[in-house]
Chain A
């Protein structure tokens, strides 16, 4: 067995942390550099120690042979240093940790790669940034904290923003800080620094005519709805902001409306409150920036579907309180007001999907029957216009909305297309509706993919018809129906979703199938990450190696137990090898899932 006998560089006697390659003593007596894999003699290693290029451990620490090929990075924490508490992390929660141990006043964390160390560094830098931004300390007291962060990762974009601001925010500070940041992170640096620069400016939204007609001001109900809409915007984007700026988690409060100028129906927002921390100011400024972006028709933050609907609904209520209302806003840092840009009227429509024939049922209607909700799978309900098919015409077959009463929950074929806007949002257009009990046998050509949320499996032909009032025949399968109700419709829809999942995977196993990718880049689930990693090993891989691959590839920090849990939750897709319980293998369905996922990811926008 190999032993860790030293590390690159010197002990952090006067500082809090050092880190670098590990020196491993091999069974043949040679010393291996864990990073370069160069091998030198013990004598040569001693010479490097004498010259101050490397340091020795007081006692060698055995390292399992399975880590020999890893590019181990060793972090040495000085337990006596002022900031030892910040650097201490729960070893049980650290991903990619080969071995933690203590020796002579130092704590050692041996990571399996620089990537694993970087995740630890990111975690600790968030703690540092939280303290730096929320503290009312002077720069003399903050500087050691910033230096500590720099020692962990000098290229961190937000750490460099903090360093630039707190070092004096002069040109030299900003230039040095920006140079530190890696090219692919410079945008994040610029964005946060600019937000800070403009954090004393106000942001205003103004209504004219329409709801503000009659000499200005707003009726109380309109004012209440508008303020509620702003609050709704806040609650929908807050989780995404916290995800992005973890160090400001506690400070994403609802936006502060400094003035409501009733006479001109103007709402003025500010991030600059008296006697508040820099963290709060920054968090408020970030949220106003996002608000302004949303009202400028720019790309909104990547929200999950329910939050996106909440966000877009709130945005619509702010931007168009009534058709006659003119809404302008004064962007931060600008003197002139500009019209807001409704996201649904933005130019730059990118793509419209093929027409999809979807099996579903109408689950609701709203806005005086101008919009209807159609349920097309156990997990997807679309809200579509019943008066505009995307080309200004009324969809075919919707006259029933005004002529009949019992149209809810009836199995029907909805022909729908999806238009992807430049902003990354999508709009579904209804082209026609035909009830199954009126059409006889027909077919579906698409259903929502069970592999990726908001993707569709399409370009197939699956027959479907009703058989009396109690059965639905889908392909070769019979699905029972009861008395028409939401519960009954949900039940047959659930069964249909299971059938369609089998259908999708069966085709994928044979490498057949076409998918309409989700409108936004697909966020890989834990299962997806396992499948992507497994596909790089032909569907079979030792769990520890798999976890390592996942952590490196997806920049996450999962552990072996997380991956075992994924298998437990998906026994139809994954199993452990009967001969070796450490090896995870995909099933035939799992192979299909992986192929389908690869198709969706490769075509995702």
Chain B
């Protein structure tokens, strides 16, 4: 499967910068992301990506990177959601939330083992995962990995942020050699091509070949079948 990240930039120059060098964390202390990170005890800001699709079901720009592209920490839910809306964690104290998150966080090299547990290699589970549907027949990941503390996230929530794998790192993400596909709004793409022509940026030819026309939704939808096939065959 691939890592997806949706992002928004106002100018084509900034979009190009993300495509070429990867995205960096938002350092703004007033941003919701940074406030959540502080609440969860993250020492420094992170860039986030999601495995299989992006949390932003609608988005302006998006990048997709290979599975090995993210060197950071992984968790089986959207960590920001622990603060705001994922039941029952959002009602816990800060200390309880942080302790819970520590138990549910692993370094990236553990990813292959963990996704063999969840979503696993059964077609129904893998399909549900890629379509953002609730995992069947279990109340939470602790029923599949019994060393984890109990928390019925899958049963208690109606939102796919409670069961998607999140990857977070200090950035930049993704590095250029790991960019697999990307997208942006149609008029932004036209501006990017003009920009590359004006600046004689021949490296953009390589980026064009990875462009998916139609926006983030199309990006997500167009890679589902490929991901499922590869995942079940691996």
Task: List residues of chain A with CB under 8 Å of any chain B CB.
Answer: 6-10, 12, 15, 17-21, 23, 33-41, 44-45, 48, 51-54, 71, 73, 114, 143, 147, 150-155, 163, 167-168, 172-173, 175-176, 179-180
Query: In whole angstroms, how far apart are the Cα atoms of A368 and B132 in the complex?
Result: 77
Least CB distance from B119 to A in Å reads 16
Contact of B57 among A40, A73, A175 (CB under 8 A): A40
Q: Mark interface residues in B200-211 (1 if CB within 8 Å of A CB, else 0).
A: 111011001101
10 closest A-B pairs by beta carbon, nearest first, are A35-B217, A150-B190, A21-B217, A54-B58, A179-B208, A20-B215, A151-B186, A38-B57, A8-B58, A15-B187
Identify which of B63-71, B174-182, B191-199 touches chain A. B191-199
Q: Confirm or deny: B231 has a beta carbon within 8 angstroms of a beta carbon on chain A.
A: no
B residues near A173, Cβ cutoff 8 Å? 197
B14 contacts partner chain A, Cβ-Cβ < 8 Å = no
Chain A residues positioned under 8 Å from B60 (CB to CB): 8-10, 52-53
- A residues near B214, Cβ cutoff 8 Å: 20, 35, 73, 114
Q: Are B193 and A154 in contact (CB under 8 A)?
A: yes
A53 touches B197 (CB 8 A): no
Find chain A residues with CB under 8 A from B53 CB. Answer: 36, 38
Given that A36-B57, A38-B57, A180-B208 are contacting pairs, would A175 and B8 also be in contact in the complex, using a CB cutoff of 8 Å? no
Q: Provide the residues of chain B in CB contact with A155, threshold 8 Å.
A: 213
CB of B92 within 8 Å of the partner chain: no
Chain A residues, CB < 8 A from B153:
none
Q: Are B58 and A53 in contact (CB under 8 A)?
A: yes
State whether A19 and B186 are in contact (beta carbons under 8 Å apart), knowing that A33-B58, A71-B221, A176-B197 are contacts in the complex.
Answer: yes
Least Cβ–Cβ distance between A298 and chain B, in angstroms: 30
Complex CA–CA separation, A34 to B218 (angstroms):
10
In the bound complex, do residue B209 and residue A179 qualify as a contact, i.e. CB atoms below 8 Å apart? yes
Partner of A17, one of B160, B187, B193: B187
* Neighbouring B residues of A37 by C-beta, 8 Å: 131
Contacts between the two chains (Cβ within 8 Å), count: 127
Which A residues lie within 8 Å of B221 (CB)?
35-36, 71
* Complex interface: chain B residues within 8 A of A21 (CB): 58, 215, 217-218
A150 to B221 alpha-carbon distance, docked (Å): 22
Closest Cβ of chain A: how far from B216's Cβ, in Å? 7
Are A176 and B187 within 8 A (Cβ)? no
B187: chain A residues within 8 A (beta carbon) = 12, 15, 17-18, 147, 151
B104 at the interface (CB under 8 A from A): no
Q: Given the complex, which residues of B lie within 8 Å of A15, measured CB to CB?
A: 187
The residue in A45, A150, A153, A176 that gathers the most chain B C-beta atoms within 10 A of its C-beta is: A176
For A52, list chain B residues within 8 Å (CB).
8, 60
Tell whether B185 is near chain A: CB-to-CB under 8 Å. Answer: yes
Extra pairs beyond A154-B193, A172-B196 (16, CB < 8 Å): A9-B215, A15-B187, A19-B186, A20-B218, A21-B58, A36-B57, A38-B53, A38-B132, A38-B160, A40-B159, A41-B158, A44-B159, A53-B216, A147-B194, A154-B190, A155-B213
Once bound together, how far apart are the Cα atoms of A10 and B194, in whole Å? 21
- Among B58, B209, B215, B217, the most chain A Cβ lie within 10 Å of the Cβ of B58
- A114 and B209 within 8 A (CB): no
Q: Would A48 and B58 be within 8 Å (CB), given that A38-B131, A150-B193 are in contact?
A: yes
Give 29 A-B contacts (CB < 8 Å), ordered by A residue. A9-B60, A9-B215, A12-B187, A18-B185, A20-B215, A21-B58, A23-B58, A33-B57, A33-B217, A34-B217, A35-B215, A39-B132, A40-B57, A41-B158, A44-B159, A45-B58, A51-B8, A73-B214, A143-B194, A147-B194, A151-B186, A154-B213, A168-B197, A172-B196, A172-B200, A172-B201, A175-B202, A175-B205, A179-B205
Residues from 69 to 117 in B contacting A, C-beta threshold 8 Å: none
Task: Report the minimum CB–CB distance from B16 to chain A (whole Å).
Answer: 13
Do the beta carbons of B189 and A150 come within 8 Å of each other?
A: yes
CB proximity of B214 to chain A, nearest CB, Å:
6
Complex contact B202–A172 (CB within 8 A): yes
Judge whether B41 is part of the interface by a CB distance below 8 angstroms: no
B159–A167 CB distance below 8 A: no
Q: Is B172 an interface residue (CB 8 A)?
A: no
Contact present for B57 and A48 (CB under 8 Å):
yes
Smallest beta-carbon distance B85→chain A, Å: 8
Name the distance in Å between B126's Cβ and chain A's nearest Cβ. 16
**Chain B residues with CB below 8 A from A20, complex form:** 58, 185, 214-215, 217-218
Taking the closest CB of chain B, its distance from the CB of A578, in whole angstroms, is 39
Residue contact B59 to A18, C-beta cutoff 8 Å: no
Closest Cβ neighbor of B207 among chain A residues: A179
Q: How far is the CA of A20 from the CA of B189 in the complex (A)?
A: 14
Q: Across the interface, name the chain B residue whose C-beta is closest to A171.
A: B202
Q: Do A152 and B197 touch across chains, with their CB atoms under 8 A apart? A: no
Contact (Cβ within 8 A) B160 A35: no
Do B59 and A53 have beta carbons less than 8 Å apart?
yes
Alpha-carbon gap, A172 to B217, bound state (A): 30
Of all chain A residues, the one with the shortest Cβ separation from B193 is A176
Contact B185 A10 (CB under 8 A): yes
A132 vs B220: C-alpha distance when bound (angstroms): 35
Measured in the bound complex, the distance between the Cα atoms of B56 and A38 in whole Å is 10
- Chain B 161-189, CB-CB to A under 8 Å as 1, else 0, gives 00000000000000000000000011101
Nearest residue (CB) in B for A168 is: B197
Cα(A168)–Cα(B191), bound, Å:
17
> With A and B bound together, what is the CA distance between A297 and B131 in angstroms?
53
Question: Known contacts being A38-B160, A153-B213, is A176 close to B205, with CB within 8 Å?
Answer: yes
Residue of A nearest to B130 (CB): A36
Whole-angstrom CA separation of A38 from B205 in the bound complex = 32
Q: What separation, in Å, do the CA atoms of A9 and B186 have in the docked complex?
A: 10
Bound Cα distance from A36 to B55, whole angstroms: 12
Are A167 and B197 CB-contacts (below 8 A) given A35-B217, A41-B159, A51-B8? Answer: yes
Chain A residues near B201: list those with CB within 8 A.
172
User: Which of chain B's residues has its CB closest to A167's CB?
Assistant: B197
A34: nearest chain-B partner, CB-CB: B217
CA distance A592 to B132 in the complex (A): 44
In the assembly, what is the distance between CA of A36 and CA of B57, in Å? 8
